[in-house]
Amino acid sequence: MAGKAKRSVPVNLNGAEIMITNASTDEKIMTAVGMIGYGSERIAEGKTLLIDATAKKDTRVALSGAQLEATAASKAAMNAAKEAFQSYSVLVKGEFKGKKETLAVLGLDKPMPRTEASLIEAGKTLFANAASHPEIKSGMLKYGYDDAKLAAEQAKVLAFEKANDQQKAAEGAAQNATEDQTKSIARLNDWVAQFRKAAKIALKNNKQLLEKLGIHARSTKTKAQRGAPKKAAATRAAQRSTTK
């Protein structure tokens, strides 16, 4: 049998807000629940938990948005760095084909980088050493790789390194915010669950006030009683069919 669907965070908080606000502003409710231990101090506890859970939710939403932005920025920076690395690598390998020692200076004696970390490391090595090696600099001038071009390409790698660090930091912050929200809402839910039980007892004879708290009063009829009219109608229909 499938379990109950989990309510979304906004609905969860809205339900708690309705319950706590109406409990604290309705004198009849306050009097009734106060008689079984839910005076103004305990209602204030609920308000504090609600405020904290709402703030944690707002923080989580903001940091999740920041994470998405950081991820997009990191991806764009990675693509720019990868293109710079691959373009130079293809040209320099062609220019110095067969000169393994020269290519090794650039780190191109290794497999092409496949991870973010390896791309950053390989890119930094490639452009830093290309800029400081006279033979390589001279050979690559014909392709437009002067000092300014090399510096610009190296800057793309460094920009990706920074964007990647920022993305990881944003991801960690968003995960922490989600955990904080989960714990805060769990504390609020515990309070709401206990208050709901108390309110059902205190207001068992006042369905209107229970409804005001967002607590839907159940019918006192059993399942068999609720199904009795339908069963009786089916029996009468069967009897009529047999008498025809």
Q: Is the pLDDT of residue 113 over 70?
A: yes
Supply the pLDDT for residue 238: 61
Q: How many separate domains does the chain show?
A: 1
133-152 average pLDDT score: 96
Tell which phi-psi region holds residue 144, choosing left (phi > 0), alpha (psi between -120 and 50) or beta: left
Q: Is the pLDDT of residue 221 over 60?
A: no
Q: Judge whether 103 lies within some domain.
A: yes
Q: Is the pLDDT of residue 237 over 90?
A: no
Q: Is the pLDDT of residue 171 over 50?
A: yes
225-231 average pLDDT score: 64
Q: Judge whether 236 lies within some domain.
A: no
Q: Judge whether 136 lies within some domain.
A: yes
Q: Judge whether 134 lies within some domain.
A: yes
* Closest among 166, 167, 164 to 156, alpha carbons compared: 164
Torsion angle, alpha carbons of 100, 104, 106, 108, to 10: 80
Calpha distance 79→62 (Å, rounded): 26
pLDDT one-digit tens code per residue, 1-13 = 444 546 677 778 9
Q: Judge whether 200 lies within some domain.
A: yes
* Closest among 128, 123, 126 to 92, alpha carbons compared: 126
Q: Judge whether 148 lies within some domain.
A: yes
Q: Is the pLDDT of residue 89 over 70?
A: yes
pLDDT one-digit tens code per residue, 60-81 = 999 999 999 999 999 999 999 9
- pTM for this predicted structure: 0.76
What length does the chain have? 244
